[in-house]
Amino acid sequence: MAYLKNVGTSDQSWESLKPELLVLGLFEGEKLSGFNLDVDDASGKAVSKCLSSGDFSGEQGKTRLLFPDGPAKRVMLVGLGKREEFSLDNLRQAAGTAVKTAQYNKWKSFVTEIPGMDALNESDEVVSQAFVEGLVLGSYKFLEYKTDKKDETILDSVSIINNPVRDGVERGRIIAEAVCFVRDLAFHPSNIMTPSRLASEAEKIASQFGMACKVYERDEFTEMGLGAFASVARGTDEPPKFILLEYQGGEKGDKPIAFIGKGITFDTGGISIKPSKAMDEMKYDMCGAAAVLGIFKAVGELKPNVNIVGAIATTENMPGGHATKPGDIVTAYNGKTIEILNTDAEGRLVLADALAYVVKNNDPQYMINFATLTGAVLIALGHIASGVMGTDRKLIEALIEAGEKSGERVWELPLWDEYCKDIKSKIADVKNIGAVRQAGTIAGGAFLKEFTGDIPWAHVDIAGTAWWSKDRPYIPSGPSGVGVRLSLELLNILA
C-alpha cells in the first residue's frame, strides 16, 4: 500500500510549519532563486556552499542531505536534471526519490514546493497531479506478509507549499492510490488472489461507489456460450469468474467506454506447461484484470461524466484431468471456432469471449483491453513501453498521447493482413498461435481482433510493463500497477 497517507497543501510559510525536513528541487547549473534561495539564506548559505563546492550538481535523480543551523533542521536537495529536458515524468521521479530517501532515513514528514512548475509546458493543475502521483507512488511498499513492518512505514505526511493546485493534488492522490491498489492485487500470491477474491474486490468497489456488478460462475458463463474462456478454466478446481462492472457517469443512453482485463491468477501454461524457472512470476498474469479494477476504483472517486463498463475473465490456467489439450477445438461467444494449439496461449482465449460479450451486450463506443499476453512483447519493448494494437486510429493516437502524459508509454505494432492470416486455422476458423517464432505479440493482437466486431478497439499488451525486478524512483520492483494512469488520461483525452 501507499504509506504516505497525508498529502496536504498549505498557504503558510515554510518557517511557520516548523518542518522536520525541507525538500528542495534543483536544476543542473542554475543559481538559487525563490524558495530555494530563501531556505539557503535562512541556513547560513548551506545550500549554495554545497553547490559551489561541487558536492551537488542537480543531476537528475541525485540527492544530498544537509543539516544546517537555523529553522531548516534538515534539507534534502533533489536533482531535477537539465531544465530543457525536464518532463512530467522527471517530476514524478523527483517526488518519488524524495519520498524514498525520507522513508529510508525514517523521517516522519517533510515540507516542499512543487519544483520546476515553470519549466513545464503544462497547466499547474496537471503538474500538481503528477507531483503528487510521484509522492504517493514512491511511498508504496508491499508488507502484507511481513509480521514486523513498523520501521518501514514512518513517513506519513507531506505538506506542499507555494501554490499547488488543490484539484490536481486530489486527482493525483486518487489515481496513485488506485495504482497502489492494483500493485497490491498483483503482489498477493495466487493462493490468496484467486478469481473469487478478484470478484469480491469488484463487488466491494461497486458497493462503495454505487456501481452495478455482476459475477457469473463457471456453469453460468459456460451455458451462456463463453466456450473459449470455459476451455481455459477446465483444468482448475479453483472457481473461475466472469466479472462485469458498470459505472454510469453519463446519460442513460450514452454508449460506454469498455475496459476489459485478462485475469489469469496463475498461468502454469496448462498442458503445454511452462518451464519451472521463474514460474512464480505467473501470479502476475492477472495484472490486466487488476488494472480494470483500479480504473473503476479511481473512476468511483473522480466521477467522470461518461459511462464505463468493465469485463474481467478470471481463472487459473492449470493442467489436470479435465484440462484442454493441444489440438482441441472450442467455440467462442461470437460463434467462431478456435483450434487450441498451445494451451499456454490462454490469455487470448479468455479475452476473446470477454471482448465478444461486451461487443454484443454493451455496444461500447470504444473498448480497450489490458493483458499480460505475450513474452514476445518483452523482447520487442522491454519493460519500458506496452505494445498497443487496434482497429481505430483515433483511439490508438489517444492512447499514445495518454501514454506520454501519464508516463505509461505505449508503442504501436501493426495488425496488417499478412499477420492476421497467420492465425487462420486449417480446420477451424482460427488457431490460438501465429507463425512459429515470428511476431508473437502481433499474433496475439491479430487473434483478439477476430472477436471485436466493428467496435473501435485497442489491445494493450502489458506483459513487459506490468512488473519488473528493478527499483525505479516511483515504481518499486514488482508489479507496477500499469493501466490506471494511462486509462484515466485516455478518458480525459476522449472526453
Interacting residues toward ligand BES by CB under 6 A: 267, 285, 342, 344-347, 372-376, 433, 440, 463
- Which CB atom, from 26 or from 462, has the smaller least distance to Zn ion? 462
Least Å distance, CB 248 to ligand BES, is 33
Question: Annotated catalytic residue: which of 171, 283, 348, 405?
Answer: 348
Cβ proximity of 71 and 113 under 8 Å: no
Of these partners, Zn ion, ligand BES, none, which one is at the site of residue 374 (CB under 5 to 8 Å by kind)?
ligand BES
- Which CB atom, from 267 or from 353, has the smaller least distance to ligand BES? 267
Of these partners, Zn ion, ligand BES, none, which one is at the site of residue 243 (CB under 5 to 8 Å by kind)?
none
- Cell matching residue 440: 508473437
d(Cα 333, Cα 337) in Å, to the nearest integer? 9
Residue of 40, 113, 184, 344 interacting with Zn ion (CB under 5 A)? 344
Asked if 267 touches Zn ion (CB under 5 A), the answer is yes
Least Å distance, CB 346 to Zn ion, is 5
Phi, psi of 312 (to 5 degrees): -130, 125
Give whole-number Cα distances, 479 to 50, 336, 385, in Å. Answer: 37, 34, 14
Q: Would you state the torsion angle of the CA atoms of residues 372, 374, 375, 376, taken in this order, to the nearest 10 degrees?
A: -140
Active site residue 348: yes
| HSE-up (13 A, CA, CB side) for residue 435 | 8
Alpha-carbon Rg for the chain, nearest whole angstrom, is 24
Q: Segment near Zn ion (CB under 5 A), from 209-217, 248-256, 343-351, 430-438?
A: 343-351
Q: What angle do CA 117, 123, 125 make, to 5 degrees?
A: 85
Count of residues in contact with Zn ion, rule CB under 5 A: 6
Of these partners, ligand BES, Zn ion, none, which one is at the site of residue 116 (CB under 5 to 8 Å by kind)?
none
Asked if 285 touches Zn ion (CB under 5 A), the answer is yes
Residues 224-263 as x/- pattern, contact with Zn ion by CB under 5 A: ----------------------------------------
36 three-state secondary structure? helix
- Which CB atom, from 153 or from 342, has the smaller least distance to ligand BES? 342
Give whole-number Cα distances, 346 to 4, 342, 468, 494, in Å. Answer: 38, 8, 22, 31
Identify which of 317, 322, 312 has the alpha carbon closest to the alpha carbon of residue 232. Answer: 317
- Which CB atom, from 97 or from 432, has the smaller least distance to ligand BES? 432
Which residues in 207-238 are b (16+ Cβ under 10 Å) and which e?
A: eeeebebebbebeebbebbbbbbbbbbbbbeb
Question: Annotated catalytic residue: which of 83, 274, 325, 424?
Answer: 274
Active site residue 274: yes
Query: How far out from the chain centre does Cα 454 lie?
Result: 27
Of these partners, ligand BES, Zn ion, none, which one is at the site of residue 238 (CB under 5 to 8 Å by kind)?
none
d(Cα 287, Cα 302) in Å, to the nearest integer? 22
d(Cα 48, Cα 57) in Å, to the nearest integer? 11
Q: What angle do CA 353, 355, 361 make, to 5 degrees?
A: 95
Of these partners, ligand BES, Zn ion, none, which one is at the site of residue 94 (CB under 5 to 8 Å by kind)?
none
Least Å distance, CB 238 to ligand BES, is 17
Residue of 225, 347, 444, 481 interacting with Zn ion (CB under 5 A)? 347
Least Å distance, CB 379 to ligand BES, is 9
Pairing of strands 212-216, 241-248: antiparallel
Of these partners, ligand BES, Zn ion, none, which one is at the site of residue 376 (CB under 5 to 8 Å by kind)?
ligand BES
- Which CB atom, from 402 or from 439, has the smaller least distance to ligand BES? 439
- Which CB atom, from 257 or from 340, has the smaller least distance to ligand BES? 340
Straight-line distance from the first to the last Cα atom of the chain, in angstroms, rounded to the nearest whole number: 30
Cβ proximity of 22 and 110 under 8 Å: yes
Of these partners, Zn ion, ligand BES, none, which one is at the site of residue 177 (CB under 5 to 8 Å by kind)?
none
Least Å distance, CB 344 to ligand BES, is 4
Question: How far is it between the farthest Cα atoms of the chain?
Answer: 81
Asked if 113 touches Zn ion (CB under 5 A), the answer is no
- Which CB atom, from 238 or from 346, has the smaller least distance to Zn ion? 346
Residue of 76, 78, 244, 264 interacting with Zn ion (CB under 5 A)? 264
Cβ proximity of 308 and 329 under 8 Å: no
| HSE-up (13 A, CA, CB side) for residue 117 | 22
- Which CB atom, from 139 or from 441, has the smaller least distance to ligand BES? 441
- Which CB atom, from 164 or from 347, has the smaller least distance to Zn ion? 347
Cβ proximity of 189 and 282 under 8 Å: no
Residues acting as catalytic residues: 274, 348
Residues that bind Zn ion (CB under 5 A): 264, 267, 285, 344, 346-347
